[in-house]
Structure 1
Amino acid sequence: MAKIDIRRPHSLSVADARSIVDRVAERMREKFGTDSQWSGDTLTFQRSGVKGAIAVVPGEVHVTAELGMLLSPLKGTIEDEIGRKLDEHFA
């Protein structure tokens, strides 16, 4: 399994950062059929071939994910897309 671990700083309140993550999670549900739920300030998500979490803490958003065998070859592309989305929303 390929692992993804990306951190991005932010200057938002935890509530505002969490709201952004919630909107992104909604798009993930619509586009990829992910299931997600909040546990404190961490959103966990999963679907066939991937499971992960997005933790929101003061000053940082931390994305972790484990890719299954079919998605592992796409790790670089997936990391790039996550990085772009984080930069777009939290830069």
Structure 2
Amino acid sequence: MSTIRINRTHSLNESGCHEALEDLTAYLQEEFAAKVTRQDGTLSFSGSGFAGEVCVEPGRASGKIKLGLLARPFRRTLENEINRHLDARFGTG
């Protein structure tokens, strides 16, 4: 499997992290029809050809997304879209 890794710093407080996770949940469900579960500051998700986990806590966001065989050709596009979305949410872009 190909893996996209996420490691960022940000200035969101606990409330901002909660909002970021809510936003990411909606984004994954609407754009990728992903099944998403949340436990505290961690989202676990899966969809057609991918599965992953993202943790957002004050000051830091990390995670990884594993791409199946059919999603691998779109790795660069997916990674760029993920980074664009995170930059918009964390105000780093």
Same fold (TM over 0.5): yes
Question: 2:21, 2:41 within 8 Å by CA — same for their partners in 1?
Answer: no
> Tell me, which stretches of 5 or more residues in structure 2 are unaligned?
none
Task: In structure 1, give the amino acid aligned to 2:70.
Answer: L
Cα distance in 2 for partners of 1:27, 1:78 equals: 13
Deviation at 1:17, TM superposition (A): 1.5
How many residues are treated as equivalent by the alignment?
Answer: 91
Q: Name the % identity.
A: 33
Unmatched 5+ stretches in structure 1: none
Q: Pairwise CA RMSD of aligned residues?
A: 1.2
Q: Which residue of 2 aligns with 1:62?
A: 62
SS in 2 for 1:70: coil
TM-score if structure 2 supplies the norm length? Answer: 0.88
For normalisation by structure 1, the TM-score amounts to 0.90
Letter in structure 2 aligned against 1:53: E
Q: Does 1:26 align with 2:41?
A: no
Residue of structure 1 in register with 2:43 after alignment: 43
Amino acid paired to 1:24:
L
